[in-house]
Every structure is written in structure tokens, then in C-alpha cells.
Amino acid sequence: MGVLVDENTRVLVQGITGREGSFHARACMAYGTNIVAGVTPGRGRTMFDDKVPVFNSVEEAVAQTQANMALIFVPPPFAPDAIAESADAGIPLIACITEGIPVQDMVKVYRYIQRKPVRLIGPNCPGLINPGAKCKIGIMPGAIHLPGRVGVLSRSGTLTYEAVGQLTALGLGQSSCVGIGGDPIIGTNFVDVLGLFDADPGTDAVVMIGEIGGTMEQDAAAFIKADFSKPVASLVVGASAPAGKRMGHAGAIITGESGTAEFKIAALNDAGAWIIPTPADIGSTAQKMLESNGLLN
Amino acid sequence: MNIHEFQAKEIFARYGIAVPRGIVAATPAEAKAATQELGGQSVVKAQIHAGGRGKSGGVQLVRSPEEASESAQRMLGSNIVTPQTGPEGAPVHKVLIEELADIKKELYVALTIDRGHRSPVLLVSIHGGMDIEEVAATNPQDIHTEPIDPLLGLMPFQTRRLVRHLGLEPAVAGDAAKLLTALYQVFVDNDCSLLEINPLIITGDDRVVALDAKINLDDDSMFRHADLMAYRDVSQEDELEAQAADLDIAYVNLDGDVGCLVNGAGLAMATLDVTTAAGAAPANFLDVGGGATPEKVSSAVKIILSDPKVRRVLVNIFGGILRCDIAGEGIVMAYKETGSTIPLVVRMLGTNVVEGKEILGASSLPVVFAETLTEAAEAIKQLKV
């Protein structure tokens, strides 16, 4: 159970020989993730930590290892190429952790992957984790997670850990946690993942962490109102941010009324979502939501 | 990164986009000489990184070289306050002296990346010279949005459609189409995040001229635009924000007295919200980033401590890539180097949290520990300042 990744996920790490790639590949393996290959052009036919074969191309890696997911730790100038290479090789799921890809590169890559049978998570995201399946594909600290039945969905990295930390502290385990990324152009949005959580028998309810900028939260609100069958608790951060200033994430910038936290919260409230009043109340609000829906056991 | 109007027009000129004849002046004498050269009359335009200059005394029509000198005298060295600058305004170090334009028609053209379409969009409107937000509010039907497939680029049928929407006569349609094509090339070649001409004018003799020019560049693309970095004008940036940017730290200066040190943009925003909800006011947004070293954390803390508004500091670190002991070391380093006695509340969680707290606990720093976000906000409120 859980969404997108599980025991059958065979991960290929692009950039496995780099500083970040190697550090996180080890952490993922230690958590239980099945990492079957690494790709670094020019470093083929070597072994990573005596365990994982490294290939020159994704194509070779897939042919040799039947990898069915790519995790990308490639620096921004080369990340668009890495995404396109995996899509070209027929990989059905890609998570791109890289932060700082030029937006005009992303709009092109987005067009390209639209023509392929592939889902991209990110870029500029923490990745995704299915604690019950011991499958961590990303940079989140594995130890804070607890197997369970709450789906967690977020545009942020550390704030997702905060949310998970609060849930775990109350004994509320997670079915899957998906960080979709903080950039303006990302492969997978809230609505996509909400749809997956809705269809997942292992997920009872969802905690969704939004932020200022764009209209993804409003789109999610419309979807929750019309098509979503499970309870959702939602937080939108950035209420105290001034307009026109980029709050770290390239996507977190208020450029009109619809980008404000207030506007987004109103839409989610109208859709019947449980509103998490402040970032300190994520766990307690989720608990109330589960309790009132008879989902606490 | 923002650049000045005169710099944007330099780029335009390289792509064959018509701009008024103009000369940059840094002194009243230069403004006077420039006006002389342009025939005795000119428009004096303050070069600041903010819109809304026109209504704030930053654009002035002058009828003689002497008047140009006086106008430049007023602007240069002063701060111009517009709705986009904040109350302190933006300093004027240069003015652009331009020839007068014979305006028959004022239009609006802009290019940006649209999240909804996940592509570049070209916006045009027949209402040039006005605030486009106002047009969007009052006459939304008069703004045409043309999404562009980034793999194809702006196609000729699209420029023809845009020209049609602008209601242009055959005499200027060809030039306008050429300009739109060139503009898209500027947008792509220079990794612009926003490119705006307001107004784009049709002159009495049917020329299409960019009377104004605004370009924002994508910060994430600067690794391939070393040449454009030369356009950076630090005097237009907040001093602390500029320092932080040089260190690759995401920092935004705010109005309150609680200095905030956080890892991760989302958690940093959340920290501001919790602080505000507790009745305190954050002095800044700061995301120190994932792969920070003790030195980088120390630099971030020093930026916070050098802000005269800061009376208390809130540290919120969720150790993941950034380990808590690294954060602890960096904080101690900064306090030692600056000798600061500003009290701080530290909330740490995650990787190496025990070590991180030990480092801070063993130091002589005025530190209060908190376990949860709620406790941290409460502790900040309790700090006597």
C-alpha cells in the first residue's frame, strides 16, 4: 500500500558518484530502498560501495538492472539532460531532487516528458517515501517516519519533515509522503497526488502542506470539493510574507491576490478541508480530523 | 536579478528593437550636455529597480538643457519612493536622458513564464502606459495571453494573431511582428523571468518603439550568463539581502525584531508564521540551505546579528542534510566572533540533535532550548527585550 513507490521499486540514481548523490544513496539503502544502479557518464563499469553497479547511460542501466525509477542528484546545469535521458530510456517514474534548474530549461523538459509515459516528481523536492514498504527515495530523514495510514503531500522539504515529525509524535503513521517541489514548474502537482491517495486503499486521510505563490492550492481545493472522498487537513504557509519577495523557493512569491495564503486558505476551507491554523498545529489538527471521521484506532 | 531600464534597452538595441535615442548621465552637467545633444529637450528618467517611477517624480519632461540639469540635480543622490520600493525608496545614481517621443498610440507587451500553462506566455494589451494590474481588474478582455510552446518558439501565426489583437494598421503590422519575434529571442537568450514594455509606442511616423523596458533575469540561470552579471547594481538591493545573496543564502529583510535562522524555505516561512501568530514580528526570512558548513551557518548568523532591528533570535533547525551539530558549531562561531549578547531560542530536531544541543549548552551563549514549534514561539514571546 502507499502511492507511487513500494517493495517493487528498483531505483537508479543519476549522479550517484557525486557528493550529495553518494551520501543520499547510502542513506536510502540503509533505510531499505532497493537501489539497483547508478549512472554517471564516464564512470561506467565501476561499483558504488562494492554494491551498486555504475553505468555510463540510463539506457544501459535499465537494460542490465530493470530499474523502474530514477532518482536525480545532478547539478542544475546538467539536470534537464538527466531528466530527459531517463524519460527517453522508458523509466516510468523520476524524482529530481536538484534545486536551481533555470525555469526556461524546465518548461522545455516539461514539454518533452509530456510526450512520454513518465511521471516526474520535482524538481527541487525532497523526494518520496513509503515507510510501510521501507522504501525511501529522497533526502528526508528516514527515522522520523512511522508506517501508517495518513498520506502527506507538500511543496516543501524541511516543512514536510516537521509535519511528519508532529504526526509520528502523536503515533499517527504515514502511508506515503510525497514532496512535489518548490519550483514554479514541477512535474506533479497536488491534484495528481491527491488522485493517487484517493485510489490507495492504504491511505485513510491526507495532510497537505501548501504555501504562497501560484494557484496549485486552489486547484487542489476544487478537486477536493468535486472528486476527493477522504478527509484532508491543509496548512498554507507564508501568511506573513510580503508580496513580490521570493521566499527561498522560486515558486513562493506572491504576484497577485490569488497567490496569497489568505486566498488559498479560503478556497480550501470552502472545499471542506480541515484548516491547520498554524505550523505548530499539524499533528493535532490531523488527530482531530481522524478522530471525527472515526479513523483513529 | 533586476536590471536597469537603460541596460534593458542596450540589450533590446542589440536585437534590433527600436528604442528612443538616449544617453546615461551620472551628474547634472552630463544631463545638460545630453539634452543639448538630443536637440534641447528631453525626458529625464531616474534609473531604479522599481516600477511606478512616473507618478513618483522619477520621470520628467524638460524643455531645455538647464531644466534637464535641475531635474537631474533633484533626482541624483535622492531616494525615489514608489508603490514598489517600500518606504525608504530606491537610490538614484544614474538618470537616462531620452529624446522626446511623438506618441500616436500606447500599447503593452510582456513576456513571462506562466505556471498554469507551464510555458512562456506573451501578453499584449491595447492599454499601454497604464498599470497592467489595473487593466486586468477593469478591462480583462483587453489583455490577450498567447502561450508559447518552448520547443517551437513564437510562431509567425502567433505574432500575426497578436498584431491583430493590438488592432494595428497594415503600415506598422510588419514592424510590430518583427519586434515581437525579436522580443521572444531576448527573453530566451537571456533567461528572462519577466520582460515588459509599457508602453510600446507607435510614433506619428509609424515606427514601433520600446519607450520603456523592464527585464528581470532568472537567478538560477546566472551560471551561463557571466556577461549579464555585469549589469548587477548592488546599490538597488537591500544591503543585508545582497550580502546573503553573495553567500548563497536565501534571505529577505522584514520589519520585526526576531532574527530567524532556519533550514529549508518552507520551514522558514512556517517559522515566520508561528512567530507572527505568537504576537512577535520576524526581522527576516532566512533559509541557510541544506549542505551548509559551520562557516556558512556562522555567516548567516552574522547577517542576522548585524541587523540593528534584531533584539532576539529564533533558531529552528530540522536536521536532515544539515546536521544539528554543524548548525550548533556555526552559531557558536558567529557569537564568539561578534561578541553578541542577543538572546536566542533554539529549537533543534533530527540528525545529531543531541550533539548540536551539547555544543550550544556548553557555550556561554544566552540560549533557551525549546522542543516544539509552539514552545519555541512561546519562549520568544517570553524573552525580555
Domains in chain B and their CATH numbers?
1-20+102-237 (3.30.470.20), 21-100 (3.30.1490.20), 238-382 (3.40.50.261)
Q: What is the pLDDT of residue A41?
A: 95
Q: Are residues A174 and A92 in the same domain?
A: no
pTM summary value? 0.94
Residue with the three cell numbers 533584539: B311
Query: Chain A neighbours among B 9-38 (CB < 8 Å)?
Result: none
Does the beta carbon of B87 lie under 8 angstroms from any beta carbon of chain A?
no
Does residue B291 surpass a pLDDT of 80?
no
When computed from its CA atoms, the radius of gyration of chain B, rounded to whole angstroms, is 25
Q: What is the pLDDT of residue B351?
A: 83
Q: Average pLDDT in the B90-109 region?
A: 96
Q: Are residues A15 and A93 in the same domain?
A: yes
Q: Are residues A109 and A153 in the same domain?
A: no
Report the gap between the CA of A9 and the closest CA in chain B (Å): 23
Report the gap between the CA of B256 and the closest CA in chain A (Å): 11
Q: What is the pLDDT of residue B243?
A: 94
The verdict on a CB contact (< 8 Å) between A162 and B270 is yes
How many structural domains is chain A composed of? Answer: 2
The verdict on a CB contact (< 8 Å) between B269 and A238 is yes
Q: Average pLDDT in the A273-290 region?
A: 97
Does residue A167 surpass a pLDDT of 90?
yes
Q: Are residues A218 and A181 in the same domain?
A: yes
For residue A19, the domain's CATH number is 3.40.50.720
Q: Which is nearest to B112 in space by CA: A103, A182, A243, A100?
A: A103
Q: What is the pLDDT of residue A243?
A: 84
The verdict on a CB contact (< 8 Å) between B273 and A240 is yes
Residue A134 lies in a domain: no
Residue A246 lies in a domain: yes
Q: Average pLDDT in the B54-61 region?
A: 91
Q: Average pLDDT in the B189-213 region?
A: 96
Q: Are residues A110 and A230 in the same domain?
A: no
Q: Are residues A144 and A229 in the same domain?
A: yes
The string of pLDDT tens digits covering residues A11-36 is 999 999 998 899 999 999 999 999 99
Check A34, A249, A250, A287 and give the catalytic one: A249
Does residue A244 surpass a pLDDT of 90?
no
Q: Which among B115, B319, B372 is the nearest to A184, CB-wise?
A: B115
- Domain containing A40 equals 11-121
For residue A205, the domain's CATH number is 3.40.50.261
The verdict on a CB contact (< 8 Å) between B150 and A108 is yes
What residue type is assigned to position B70 of the chain?
A: E
Q: What is the pLDDT of residue A22?
A: 94
Chain A residues in contact with B380 by the CB 8 A cut-off are: none
Residue A30 lies in a domain: yes
Q: What is the pLDDT of residue B385?
A: 67
The verdict on a CB contact (< 8 Å) between B113 and A256 is no
Mean pLDDT over each residue of chain B, to the nearest integer: 94
A234 within 8 A of A209, measured Cβ to Cβ: yes
Q: What would the grid cell of residue B72 be?
A: 537631474
Report the gap between the CA of B293 and the closest CA in chain A (Å): 14
A123 within 8 A of A182, measured Cβ to Cβ: no
Angle at A285 between CA A284 and CA A289, to 5 degrees: 120
Task: Return the residue of B nearest to A166 by Cα.
Answer: B372
Neighbours of A256 (CB within 10 A): 12
Chain B residues in contact with A23 by the CB 8 A cut-off are: 321
Q: Are residues A99 and A153 in the same domain?
A: no
Q: Which of A109, A186, A240, A258 to mutate to test the interface with B (most CBs of B within 10 A)?
A: A240
Does residue B146 surpass a pLDDT of 90?
yes
Residue A82 lies in a domain: yes
Report the gap between the CA of B21 and the closest CA in chain A (Å): 32
Q: Average pLDDT in the A183-209 region?
A: 97
Does residue A297 surpass a pLDDT of 80?
no
Q: Are residues A236 and A172 in the same domain?
A: yes
B108 is catalytic: yes
Q: Average pLDDT in the A242-262 region?
A: 84
The string of pLDDT tens digits covering residues B334-363 is 999 999 999 999 999 988 899 999 999 999
Task: Return the residue of B nearest to A100 by Cα.
Answer: B220
B12 sits in which H/E element: helix B5-14
Does the beta carbon of B374 lie under 8 angstroms from any beta carbon of chain A?
yes
Strands (E), A31-113: 35-39, 46-48, 52-55, 69-72, 93-96
Q: Are residues A190 and A270 in the same domain?
A: yes
Chain A residues in contact with B273 by the CB 8 A cut-off are: 237-240, 278-279
Q: Which among A102, A144, A235 is the nearest to B218, CB-wise?
A: A102
Q: What is the pLDDT of residue B384?
A: 67
The verdict on a CB contact (< 8 Å) between A141 and B191 is no
Q: Average pLDDT in the B112-133 region?
A: 92
Strands (E), chain B: 22-25, 42-46, 59-62, 79-80, 90-91, 95-98, 103-114, 119-125, 143-147, 192-203, 208-210, 214-217, 250-253, 258-262, 284-287, 312-319, 344-350, 367-370
Q: Average pLDDT in the A115-135 region?
A: 97
Q: Which one is predicted more confidently, A297 or A51?
A: A51
Q: Are residues A81 and A160 in the same domain?
A: no
Check B5, B108, B184, B237 and give the catalytic one: B108
